[in-house]
Amino acid sequence: MVSVALLKPERMSTIDLFTYIRHLNANGQTAQRYEIEFWKKVFYPLSCLVMVMLALPFAYLHFRSGGIASYVFAGVMIGISFFLLNNVFGYIGNLRNWQPWLAAATPGLLYMVVSLGAFGWLVIRH
């Protein structure tokens, strides 16, 4: 019965989340879960850019000698790990009471730095 009264933050729009967070804060209630989901939605374009950056090192490689399957598998696994880490950071941020924007932005920034480093290494190497 109580679960019906709770609003699921992943189903709310960004504006609705912002309004609901203000409502919860005005009433002295905790809004950590909703704030993390709000910032995830705000940083969603960064996540899309990170996925493009993750593809850059794989697009730069030349596959004339074969072995493409291992690179495709590695790329898929890196993309899945980004998705999982993005979700896990939301839960960890909620449990550890991290700043909501930090919990939402850290996986994207981390993977972007790693991806740009890998791309830079490939450009220097070739």
Give the residue numbers spanning the domain of 41: 2-125
Q: What is the 3-state secondary structure (H, E, C) of the chain?
A: CHHHHCCCHHHCCHHHHHHHHHHHHHCCCCCHHHHHHHHHHHCHHHHHHHHHHHHHHHHHCCCCCCCHHHHHHHHHHHHHHHHHHHHHHHHHHHHHCCCHHHHHHHHHHHHHHHHHHHHHHHHHHC
pLDDT higher than 70, residue 41: yes
Provide the number of structural domains found in the chain.
1
The pTM for the full model equals 0.82
pLDDT higher than 80, residue 21: yes
Q: Considering the chain, what percentage of its residues have pLDDT values greater than 70? A: 93
